[in-house]
Every structure is written in C-alpha cells, then in structure tokens.
C-alpha cells in the first residue's frame, strides 16, 4: 500500500506501530514517499525488515535537484523503482507541454538507470482530462516515452479525468507496471472509500492489467483509514 494513506499517523507516531498494523492486515509491500523517509531511510528500512515488509517503489521528486537524494533513499529502503508523483496540469494542456514532460522523464530515467533504478510516472486526473489534439495526455505521454519508463496508473484519478479505465489500461498495455488501486465516488473533492465499496469497476480494472503490481491508496477517507485499508486488502485478496 502507498504510505501517503497513513502519512498523519506516521508523522505523529512510531513508524513500527503503524507499519505493524499494516503487516497484520496482510500487506506485504509498501510504497513510501520521499518526504516520509528522508532523513532516516536506513532506519525506516530496518523497521520494514523487522516486520517482514518490502518497499516496492518510492515516490519522490526525481525530475529536480533532489534526484540524487531520492535515489539514495530508494536504495536505502530497498526499492528498485522511483515514481514521479506528478507533473503539473499546465504541462498536459498542449502537445508541446506533454513532449517536454516526456523529455524530462526520459532524461531522469537515464540518470536513474545508471544508478541501478527504474523510473515510473504516476498520474492524476488532469493527464486524462486534458486532451491535446484529441488524445488523452497520458496516452500521448506514453507514446513519447522510451520503453524503460513505466507508468503507475492511478485508476481512481484516471476515472475522475473521464477515462474508461479498463480500456485505458488495455491500450497502455505493458507500459503499466504499477497500479494505484482505490475506490469511491470518483469526484475531485469527495473522500475515498475502501476498495470494492465505491463506484469503480475494480474487477474489470484489475483484469485489464493483470501483471501490474497492485498498490492500495486512500488519499483521504472520512472514516477510520485503517478500517478502510483492512477492508481493501481483504477484498483484493479474494480476487484472482
């Protein structure tokens, strides 16, 4: 699961207690953010190891001057992939902006490959809502990226952006390496729900990208986030 979901608890409490609750629910992989581990990534790794958890990937600002520190943190926590969490909305408003974004991601991927790391890009709703030239910005981006750059498709935000998410995933194919799996009313502002209890066709979504790593995330939740996370992993473990 993406640890942004429990960021407040991690910042306010003891990481071992929070991560221990997640491990007890059945999560085996976690996706930290750079902000949560920066400063003591090795200590964070020790907590993961003690609990039998693995860092699947790390969200971090790999397109800017912090790239060396992000790479160092990824190695420290044991992640093999760095995920760029966002490129601003304005950069997806035009085909030229998307092309510049692809160039920046390709350059970052070359740099990280030399350090033994892979790169992926995580979408929000604007990469689908913006359609320069009549094509969704995320699809245009994917067509311009070199094959070594993967996508972490956030299925919820893709739906908010107006995408037919199963069709999108089929079109993107093997480019999709990771999925952010979340559920809810599929609106910009409303809170999210446990996976399987909202409006998204979760079964069809997962069937459309069966090889992608499934990562649960709840950006915000009106109720107890830990209850929603437990219900999410229980639901997903019942699926093929």
Express each pLDDT in 161-209 by its tens digit: 999 999 999 999 999 999 999 999 999 999 999 999 999 999 999 999 9
Determine the pLDDT at residue 207: 97
Instruction: Quick: pLDDT tens for 222-239.
Output: 899 999 999 999 999 999
Instruction: Quick: pLDDT tens for 36-60.
Output: 999 999 999 999 999 999 999 999 9
Q: Write out the two tokens for 206.
A: 């997962």
Positive or negative, the CA dihedral 212, 160, 125, 140 is positive
Q: How much is the mean pLDDT over the chain? A: 97
Domain locations along the chain: 3-237
User: What would the 3-class secondary structure string for 180-216 be?
Assistant: EECECCCCCCCCEECCCCCCCCHHHHHHHCCCCEEEE
Determine the pLDDT at residue 52: 98
- Separation of alpha carbons 38 and 73, rounded Å: 7
Confidence band, pLDDT 50/70/90 cuts, at residue 13: confident
- Separation of alpha carbons 75 and 45, rounded Å: 10
Please choose, from the candidates 135, 136, 140, 168, the residue with its C-alpha nearest in 3D space to the C-alpha of residue 153: 168
Is residue 231 within 8 Å of residue 196, measured between CB atoms? yes
Is residue 72 within 8 Å of residue 38, measured between CB atoms? no
Confidence band, pLDDT 50/70/90 cuts, at residue 93: very high
pTM over 0.85: yes
Q: Count Cα neighbours of 135 within 13 Å in the Cβ-side half-sphere.
A: 13
Query: Which residue's entry shows tokens 């990481």?
Result: 15
Distances from the Cα of 40 to the Cα of 76, 80, 211, angstroms: 9, 18, 32
Question: What is the mean predicted confidence (pLDDT) over 68-95?
Answer: 98
Question: What is the mean predicted confidence (pLDDT) over 115-119?
Answer: 98
- Separation of alpha carbons 101 and 95, rounded Å: 10
- Separation of alpha carbons 207 and 200, rounded Å: 13
Please choose, from the candidates 11, 1, 63, the residue with its C-alpha nearest in 3D space to the C-alpha of residue 38: 11
Which is higher by pLDDT, 222 or 124? 124
Determine the pLDDT at residue 240: 77
Please name the helix (run of DSSP H) or strand (run of DSSP E) that holds residue 120, with its range, or none.
strand 118-122
Give the homologous superfamily in CATH for domain 3-237. Divalent-metal-dependent TIM barrel enzymes (3.20.20.150)
- Separation of alpha carbons 149 and 106, rounded Å: 7
């Amino acid at each position: 699961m993406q640890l942004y979901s429990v960021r407040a608890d991690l910042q306010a409490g003891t990481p071992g207690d929070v991560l221990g609750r997640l491990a007890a629910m059945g999560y085996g992989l976690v996706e930290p953010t750079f902000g949560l581990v920066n400063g003591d990534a090795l200590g964070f790794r020790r907590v993961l190891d003690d609990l039998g958890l693995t860092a699947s990937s790390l969200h971090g600002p790999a397109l800017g001057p912090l790239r060396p520190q992000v790479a160092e943190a990824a190695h420290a926590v044991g992640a093999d992939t760095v995920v760029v969490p966002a490129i601003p909305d304005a950069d997806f408003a035009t085909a030229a902006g998307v092309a510049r974004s692809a160039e920046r991601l390709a350059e970052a991927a070359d740099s990280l490959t030399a350090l033994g790391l892979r790169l992926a890009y995580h979408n929000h709703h604007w990469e689908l809502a913006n359609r320069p030239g009549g094509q969704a910005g995320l699809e245009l981006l994917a067509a311009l990226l070199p094959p070594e750059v993967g996508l972490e498709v956030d299925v919820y935000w893709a739906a908010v952006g107006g995408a037919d998410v199963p069709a999108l995933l089929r079109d993107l194919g093997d480019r999709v390496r990771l999925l952010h799996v979340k559920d809810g009313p599929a609106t910009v502002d409303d809170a999210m729900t446990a996976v399987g209890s909202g409006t998204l066709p979760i079964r069809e979504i997962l069937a459309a990208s069966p090889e992608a790593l499934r990562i649960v995330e709840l950006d915000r939740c009106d109720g107890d986030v830990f209850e929603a996370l437990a219900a999410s992993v229980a639901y997903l473990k019942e699926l093929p």
